[in-house]
Structure 1
Amino acid sequence: MTGTHQSKSRRAFLKGGGIAAGAAAASVIAAPTVVAQSPVVIKMQSSWPASDAFHEMAGQYVKLVEATSGGRLKIDLLPAGAVVGAFQVIDAVNDGVIDASHTVPVYWYGKHKAASFFGTGPVWGGSATTMLAWFHSGGGKEFYRELTQDILGLNIIGFMGFPMPAQPLGWFKSPVTKAGQLKGLKYRTVGLAADLFQQMGLSVAQLPGGEIVPAMERGVIDAFEFNNPTSDMRFGAQDVAKNYMLSSYHQASECFEFQFNRDFFEGLEPDLQAILQNSVDAASSVNTYWALKQYSDDLAKLQTEHGVKVLRTPQEILDAQLAGWDKLIEQLGKDEFMKRIMDSQKQFVEKVVFYELMNAPDYVLAYNHYYPGKLAL
């Protein structure tokens, strides 16, 4: 290639490059100004004190939503009592006083006892995971919508997540070995569990978590349950009783409820709605992983640092609970809607738990093999 030809080619290249650069500059100048969109702020109140494990777990949901939305959603999470009481969040969501809540259905079963079927109803033989599977894939979600929107006329949308470990029978000043020892006790529980223990001869007080220990100190109650070793320890249960009885059928299948004001939720962009809903499933897993470690850590602390005796509930009491449930089931079945729910749950559990139990190896056998004598509490 000659020098003259090289110069011409270079000039042509630079000329073309100059045109392209000019066009690029013009496009930059002509580009519209992008304004950062303010996040949608969601006012959510939990049914838990700020120090409780459940409020911390609600915070795990908040982090997932905010991260997944890229900052387009921001949740202002408030503890119980910040706007309304722990049992009043459903009314506040319905009325639009708050946009959302983190709670449990049993806290509003006073509106309709069917609320307890979404977590604290008859055990049937399944776990909280079984109940949550029924909710998502066995028809439970439609029953929940029918109850909240059609029967009660509430302006809410709700989702369920975090299959809780079965709740302990609770805290007692003296160990209970016979069902007859429960009769006459003033006992704290909630929901259909209150009906169950009344069937068994106890006097029941329904109290939110933050009021339990003060009630025990004042003698308003003799014994109580709340939920798990972490929450119970943070409440100070170990300061008012030293006998912690694990295993019970009174609340063996509970999970969290995430309520949203329906108008607020449906007014969001579809992708933001999906983020709020799908983050419930993500939080369900995150909550489970966190809880298994934290609950077991704190159960050990209760034993080693606070002198708490950890006991399993005797079979005689479990048998009495099942007999109590039988009576309740008969009474509740007189209501057509609740009968439909129970029939649906029984059919689902019979098939699913048959598979689970037939398929599951004997974990107790394996545990005793590697940790001999530890289960003899």
Structure 2
Amino acid sequence: MSKSSMGRRSFLKKSALMGGTAGAASLIAAPAVLAQAPKVIKMQTSWPSSNIWQEMAQDYADRVNAMSGGRLQVDVLPAGAVVAAFQVLDAVNDGLIDAAHSVPVYWYGKNKAASLFGTGPVFGGSAETMMNWFYEGGGKALYDELTQDIMGLDVDGYMGFPMYAQPFGWFKEPVTTVAELEGFKYRTVGLAADLMAKLGMSVAQLPGGEIVPAMERGVIDAFEFNNPSSDRDFGAQDVAKNYLLSSYHQASESFEFLFNGLMMEDMEPDLKAILIHGVEAASTANKAKAARRYSADLKYLEEEAGVTVTRTSTEILDAQLAAWDELIPELEADPFMKKCLDSQRAWVEQVSYYELMNAPDYALAFERYFPGKLSM
């Protein structure tokens, strides 16, 4: 038997024989360890408290709190609680908040490349395709290069919940042609603003909570945000009655979970893993919640709120792709953006080829069992 084994065995034997005050002390000390206060992580979102996305951020917090056995407590705050909706990146970097729940396009004004991590050109891949690129196609490394090396930020970010493609949006009158879009004052964000400008629209970039008031004041006369539930929560149906689904302006977006870099470095390894992999758990939960709520709220908008729901015309969709064709060479003048776009194209060509070739025509099956519903 080795000396180390003998030493360990002797220690265990002595420990077993110890009683009285030593044993009592250990019993008294144990509850004190268990009763340690959890590490509180202050996470602010970019969403109003009434928005479904605030619920989705809370879904993340609930899972992290549960998986950590009470050692972590994520406190979720709405937009404006500490900083404005578009300022969470700086707040995380500066340590004003520990984490944020947002989207990269909200810091597009700092670096246009932010839009490539959710609202960039659509090469034929869905939001799920592009979130897969982030984790399996080199996207995370490029994201870290942008945020940490190019921008010099002390942040660590992860993508979660591949969103359904965003509707073209809300209009006061039906819109079917590109000519009808000329001069529209339209709300969107990120590279979608550049895209819509090429279609003749005048674009305002506003946080979600400012959209309906701007519509009421005439600051804008058409807008998009993201989905039927958020749009209903904002009261979109009270200021417009024509809702156009389907668009290429933001068809591949995911949430961004941002963490302060210093906090993550100091975090115990198992708790750090819970924070990171909690994004994956929340992503699944968010997708399921969105499927139920978005579809139910679309039904409400159409059947009870008097909203006319249609698909965006093929003419406008073709024009959006043509506008991307114009915009992409301008973006590629920046070497980093070209590197990102080259990576995304290669990923989409490989992965979406398989996805599209393999996918059955779901619309054909839907029409068979629910005839007439898709004839919009």
> What secondary structure sits across from 1:97 in the alignment?
coil
* Distance of 2:25 and 2:54 partners within structure 1: 49
1:317 counterpart residue number: 316
Shift, 1:27, TM fit = 6.5
* Distance of 2:241 and 2:339 partners within structure 1: 42
Indicate how the Cα distance of structure 1 residues 22 and 336 shifts in structure 2: closer, same or farther if over 3 A, else same. closer
Indicate how the Cα distance of structure 1 residues 23 and 95 shifts in structure 2: closer, same or farther if over 3 A, else same. closer
2:120 counterpart residue number: 121
1:10 counterpart residue number: none
Shift, 1:38, TM fit = 1.1
* Distance of 1:40 and 1:31 partners within structure 2: 24
* Distance of 2:36 and 2:252 partners within structure 1: 41
2:6 counterpart residue number: none
Shift, 1:29, TM fit = 2.1
1:307 counterpart residue number: 306
Question: Is structure 2 residue 145 aligned with structure 1 residue 150?
Answer: no
* TM value normalised by structure 2: 0.93
1:262 counterpart residue number: 261
2:7 counterpart residue number: none
Greater shift, 282-291 or 21-30, is seen at 21-30
* Distance of 1:304 and 1:319 partners within structure 2: 30
1:70 counterpart residue number: 69
Question: Is structure 2 residue 174 aligned with structure 1 residue 175?
Answer: yes
Q: What whole-Å deviation, never above 9, does each CA across 1:258-294 have from its counterpart, x for those lacking one?
A: 0011001111101110000000000000000000010
> What secondary structure sits across from 1:226 in the alignment?
coil
> What secondary structure sits across from 2:283 in the alignment?
helix
Question: Is structure 2 residue 24 aligned with structure 1 residue 29?
Answer: yes
> What secondary structure sits across from 1:334 in the alignment?
coil
> What secondary structure sits across from 1:259 in the alignment?
strand
Unaligned ranges ≥5, structure 1: 1-20
Letter in 2 for 1:120: T
CA RMSD of aligned residues (A): 1.3
1:220 counterpart residue number: 219
Moved over 4 A (4+): 21-27
Shift, 1:26, TM fit = 6.8
* Distance of 1:137 and 1:85 partners within structure 2: 32
> What secondary structure sits across from 1:41 in the alignment?
strand
* Distance of 1:31 and 1:207 partners within structure 2: 58
* TM value normalised by structure 1: 0.93
> What secondary structure sits across from 1:306 in the alignment?
coil
Shift, 1:22, TM fit = 9.3
Shift, 1:23, TM fit = 6.8
Shift, 1:49, TM fit = 0.2
Q: Larger radius of gyration, structure 1 or 2?
A: 1
2:13 counterpart residue number: none
* Distance of 2:308 and 2:25 partners within structure 1: 74
Shift, 1:28, TM fit = 3.5
Question: Is structure 2 residue 193 aligned with structure 1 residue 194?
Answer: yes
> What secondary structure sits across from 1:162 in the alignment?
strand
1:210 counterpart residue number: 209
What is the aligned residue count?
357
> What secondary structure sits across from 1:31 in the alignment?
helix
Letter in 2 for 1:37: Q
Question: Is structure 2 residue 270 aligned with structure 1 residue 271?
Answer: yes
Letter in 2 for 1:234: D
Question: Is structure 2 residue 57 aligned with structure 1 residue 58?
Answer: yes
What is the percent sequence identity of the aligned residues?
65
2:294 counterpart residue number: 295
Greater shift, 21-30 or 96-105, is seen at 21-30
Letter in 1 for 2:117: F
* Distance of 2:156 and 2:291 partners within structure 1: 29
